[in-house]
Chains A and B, each alone.
Chain A
Amino acid sequence: MDKKELARYLELAKELRLKIVDVMTWSGGAHIGGSLSIVEILVMLYFKYLNIDPRNPKWEDRDRFVLSKGHAAAGFIPALAMKGYFPEDELQSFNHFKSPFAMHPDTNKVIGCDASAGSLGHGLPMALGMGLGARYQKKGFKTVCLMGDGECCEGSVWEAAMAISNFKLTNVIPIVDRNHFMIDGDTEDVMALEPFADKWKAFGFEVLQINGNDIAQVDDALSRAWKMTVPTMILADTVKGKGVDFMEGNVKWHYAAADSELCQKSKDSIMKEYEEAVRCLQ
């Protein structure tokens, strides 16, 4: 990836982070930490890899994206707005009476959302079904499923992992946002996931382990996963609360509300980190 392209994605990531902070403020509360951790993944999927058309959101040959960690709707829904599925100012209604946008996304209310989500461990089985449906109908689309790491405590994740491997599906790409925290604390203290990569390998996956907040690494992993001939998953090591310095790696910011002061403080931090990244680029 050249510098110009990287600069474009850095800017998109910064824009998305600013919108997530806005949503946290407008909505009265959002899962801010786990929304900020997946920003680079969302940006690369929606602005480079997914073959989609915001003017034709139900296009049957489109690539699918299943946000299995539905609580990251505060990150996902603004990304859809940026992609042009609906006007960005509609995000101001987030969580409010009769809004299409809630803490967890609804496929029948959010244009561009391929699956309702919220209850954890549901996304990968649905992605499996989409992959089987694509293969049977001889359609070339991919289905990407983004899960949380804590979510992988759910047995249904592994039921689906076993099946994707059994059916040798390469058109379903699981990604785990390994941000190391669940509500009650560090995953290794609450319910240890490690050796996490080995678990996926034991289920028959080629594991691409990357820094999920590094645009070049996310780009490289998606590019490889798109072409793989064996079931492949991406284990994306990320930082919860990424981009807002006082939220980073602090489970206190799993879910939070913001007043105008906190909103501004968060945005200042995002801008500072972004400007540093741009400086490093030059």
Chain B
Amino acid sequence: MSTVTGTTWNCYDSATMTPREIYGRTLAELAKTNDKIVGLTADLEKTTAMIHFAKAFPDRFFNVGIAEQDMFGAAAGLAKTGLIPFASTMAAFASMRACEQVRTDICYQNLPVKIIATHAGISFGHAGTTHHCTEDLAIMRSMANMTVIAPADGIETSRAVRACMDIPGPVYIRIGRGFEPPCYKDESYDFKIGKAVEMREGKDLTIICCGIAVLQSVLAAKQLEEQDGLSVRVINMHTIKPIDKDAIMKAVTETRRILTIEEHNVIGGLGDAVGSVIAESGKGCVFRKHGMQDCFSEIGYAEDLYSYYGFDADGIIDKVRQMMGLEFEADENWEDE
């Protein structure tokens, strides 16, 4: 893999482009055949990789300056003239600075604005907590009409960007800072919004995860098989809303142990979405949520923080081992409950 050092960022090139990079190029490619696509950013055209679109289509790219509220309001206005706006900024500003514009201007009016939120989770660790975002999944999934996607890598981000064109309403796609290693080799897998991907079969425990946790969970599952003889299923729940209830219930029934992993507060995100499905089903299982335990992150480079908070394979292996020691109710017949 060749790397290019820029003034601010290191960007991978070649086939293993990072989510940030690949979505920018995918969007520019989509726009070639669809003149309804317009782009917006708030002084982050380079940081969010919107620059590829901006260079190709300067007449339909709008940089509103450092004004996120204005950007999402303007995106709503553009959508109202029949266009499909892609608006990109960091997740913290998309979900919190402009929260009400996203909710009232975009979701309430049910407009086809596609939000690409970069630097989600603790991926921009050394920037400090103002630039982290471990709240966006909770905020976005609570908004009616909103679809919420957290792709695992660059390839899946590209799939999500293409697929969100078929959704008539708003879509929120959260990606990281742009250093995430690839999880998929190519696009030849079944990606459908709202349909989870089983990355690995297993019968002892299921990890339900999204974003950077997918690759690490797959690596952890391999090691657990080799070292502990455990059969761990890994489900890439790339769509947080609408959540794939069937995949969750199949995992509950077949493995009886569920671990959710998200680069997000454990309150309100993927873990709670999965937990609600299980609780409403009335079926018992061992259930743990792995994520930020209702705290703000320490400072540090992302890889150090991922290790510290247990989002790497080693951390995930520890969580799985702890869970294997927990008992679930042995009743096999749930029909009488």
Residues of chain A touching chain B, judged by Cβ–Cβ distance below 8 Å, are 60, 64, 106-108, 114-116, 118-119, 121-122, 124-134, 136-137, 139, 143, 155-156, 159-160, 162-163, 166-167
Choose one: B72, B77, B105, B108; the contact of A133 (CB below 8 Å).
Answer: B77
**Can you identify 7 A-B contacts, CB atoms within 8 angstroms?**
A108-B109, A116-B104, A118-B104, A126-B77, A133-B80, A134-B81, A156-B67
B81 contact set on A, CB distance < 8 A: 60, 129-130, 133-134, 137, 139
With contacts A122-B104, A126-B105 taken as known, whether A160 is within 8 angstroms of B70 at the C-beta atoms is yes
With contacts A125-B105, A136-B38 taken as known, whether A163 is within 8 angstroms of B70 at the C-beta atoms is yes
A162 contact set on B, CB distance < 8 A: 65, 67, 70
Residues of chain B touching chain A, judged by Cβ–Cβ distance below 8 Å, are 38, 59-60, 62, 64-65, 67, 69-83, 85, 100-101, 104-105, 108-110
Q: Are B82 and A129 in contact (CB under 8 A)?
A: no
With contacts A119-B104, A163-B64 taken as known, whether A128 is within 8 angstroms of B70 at the C-beta atoms is yes
CA distance A107 to B107 in the complex (A): 12
A118 contact set on B, CB distance < 8 A: 104
Q: Are B64 and A133 in contact (CB under 8 A)?
A: no
A160 contact set on B, CB distance < 8 A: 70, 73-74
Q: Are B77 and A119 in contact (CB under 8 A)?
A: no
Q: Are B80 and A125 in contact (CB under 8 A)?
A: no
Q: Are A126 and B76 in contact (CB under 8 A)?
A: yes
Minimum Cβ distance to chain B for residue A104 (Å): 10
Q: Are B109 and A116 in contact (CB under 8 A)?
A: yes
A-B contact count (CB 8 A): 108
- A160, closest chain B residue (CB): B70
A125 contact set on B, CB distance < 8 A: 69-74, 76-77, 101, 105
CA distance A215 to B62 in the complex (A): 37
CA distance A162 to B63 in the complex (A): 12
CA distance A143 to B80 in the complex (A): 12
- B57, closest chain A residue (CB): A136
CA distance A130 to B38 in the complex (A): 12
A121 contact set on B, CB distance < 8 A: 69
CA distance A126 to B136 in the complex (A): 23
Q: Are B109 and A132 in contact (CB under 8 A)?
A: no
CA distance A69 to B75 in the complex (A): 20
CA distance A243 to B78 in the complex (A): 37
B104 contact set on A, CB distance < 8 A: 116, 118-119, 122
- B64, closest chain A residue (CB): A163
CA distance A107 to B82 in the complex (A): 15
Minimum Cβ distance to chain A for residue B105 (Å): 6
CA distance A269 to B104 in the complex (A): 38
A155 contact set on B, CB distance < 8 A: 69
With contacts A115-B109, A160-B74 taken as known, whether A129 is within 8 angstroms of B69 at the C-beta atoms is no
Minimum Cβ distance to chain B for residue A214 (Å): 30
Q: Are B110 and A132 in contact (CB under 8 A)?
A: no
Q: Are B78 and A133 in contact (CB under 8 A)?
A: yes
